[in-house]
Amino acid sequence: MNSNFLWGGATASYQCEGAWNIDDKAESMWDHYLHENNLENGDVASDHYHHFEEDIKMMKDGGHNAYRFSLSWPRIIKNRAGDINPKGIAFYNKLINCCLKNGITPFVTLYHWDLPQYWQEVGGWLNLDTSRAFAHYAEVCFEAFGDKVKLWTTFNEPKWFTVNGYLIGNYPPAEHDLQHTIICGFNVMYANALAIQKFRQGKFQGQIGIVHSYSPIDGIDDTIETKIAMRNADNYANNWVLDTAALGSFPIDLLAKLSETNDISFMKPDLLKTIAENKVDFLGLNYYARTLVKPYTSGETKMVFNNSGKKGSTQMRIKNWFEQVMDPNSEYTEWDTEIYPKGLEDGLIRAYQKYHLPIFVTENGVGFHENINVNEVKDDYRISFMNDHINALMNAQDKGADVRGYFTWSPFDLYSWMNGVEKRYGLVAVDFSTLKRKPKASYFWYKKIINSNGKL
Ligand code: BGP
């Protein structure tokens, strides 16, 4: 493993900061949606806003040399006119300075889903003005923090928030509308290109990439029907983000298929040209599990995502596209996530061979119900999960993939989207009533792995 390899953890502003209405922060779409629907929210979360020094010290003591976090757009930009909130800038300056003082490289995501509500009110990602506003916000961040931050990513997981927000309907704005899904996905990829354009035009130093929820596709057999289902699943789950960001164009067979049922005439040539001209420098891949598929040509479309922790409730069948199936030989979590480290090895090799770009594993981890009211949380299951996935990463490196970092999700317990604080991922336990932190066994284990630079 190269000695510049980045080892750390990843968080997202909404899931850890809390302080949802402090220091002139505007409301985000998640604040609004969870409050309106009276759902468990991240108003306080891990209160990282007031505990970041302690959290970063913990990372340093745990051997981390990098920290992936996101900036909150509604904390930085006050309104649709684009006015800057100096208190938001001041907060992130303190956070970034604290990283640097502790020898931790800041790895910054511009958008981890907390869209300002003032943009959601005028259509959110269905409105191209939101894409232009994102580019303005990105430029404000490059100007404010570009002297200290050299690794940027535009979006966290366009596929995940687009599909959950507009097709499955379990994230705000909770719609079930394929046309809106396509428009949102397009406008987000256009916003990605516009932000990269600002980065290049402003001659900011460093590199800019995108983070994708990467689920490599496997098929149940070698038949031609399964291969077609695999291609459909890959277009649905991966290619529209990765091909577009890395190669500059949407997969043409995907556009052909969508145009059979939907209107895609809004994808105008000048917008496509901007996308083609502004590609990423690297890829951030979040890996939780692969997708195993078979053909699905009769029966209705059914998409249910398991947010309840009730095993076996996931359903993913899209008529004439593919059906996701479970592997009887695999182990699954309560949330139906397959534990399949080999998918990381295969995926890193496939992504590197296809895109020839440096890759960071920007998220990898496992969520459990955990009792943290004990002297030490002995999370052997997390240690074994991380051990096997880091091993898979090293195998991919040995086979030629250019992988430059590993960020576990998450360095400390956070609010989990729609799962609340019951689904814990952290290396450090957070008692959400007292906000006290306590390292789990995995924290000490990870430190040893980092100190030996990945030797298991
Ligand atoms: C990724 C997101 C993260 C994080 C993680 C775990 O898709 O980028 O924000 O939440 O998944 O997901 P969950 O909290 O829903 O279990």
Q: How confident is the model at residue 456 (pLDDT cuts 50, 70, 90)?
A: low
CA distance linking residue 346 with residue 340, whole number of Å? 11
* Cβ of 426 less than 6 Å from ligand 1: no
Which of residues 420 and 215 earns the better pLDDT score? 215
* Cβ of 78 less than 6 Å from ligand 1: no
* Cβ of 142 less than 6 Å from ligand 1: no
User: Is residue 3 scored above 80 in pLDDT?
Assistant: no
Which one of 17, 345, 363, 370 is the catalytic residue? 363
**Ligand 1 nearest atom to the CA of residue 307, by list position:** 15
Tell me what the mean pLDDT of segment 220-232 comes to: 98
Residue 290 is encoded by which pair of tokens?
């692969």
Bridge partners (DSSP) of residue 403 are 359
Q: Let me know how long the chain is.
A: 456
Residue nearest to atom 7 of ligand 1 (CA): 213
**How do residues 277-299 score in pLDDT, each as one tens digit?**
999 999 999 999 999 999 999 88
Catalytic, 363? Answer yes
Tell me what the mean pLDDT of segment 341-346 comes to: 98
What separation in Å is there between the alpha carbon of 220 and the centre of ligand 1?
27
- Beta strands per DSSP E along 226-311: 282-286, 291-294, 302-304
CA distance linking residue 97 with residue 117, whole number of Å? 29
In the chain, the domains with their CATH numbers are: 6-216+277-287+340-451 (3.20.20.80)
Straight-line distance from the first to the last Cα atom of the chain, in angstroms, rounded to the nearest whole number: 12
What separation in Å is there between the alpha carbon of 309 and the centre of ligand 1?
14
Indicate the top mutation candidate among 416, 419, 423, 425 to test ligand 1's pocket, ranked by most ligand atoms within 8 A of CB: 416
Q: Under a CB-based contact definition with an 8 Å cutoff, are residues 186 and 223 in contact?
A: no
pTM passes above 0.90: yes
Residue 299's pLDDT is what? 86
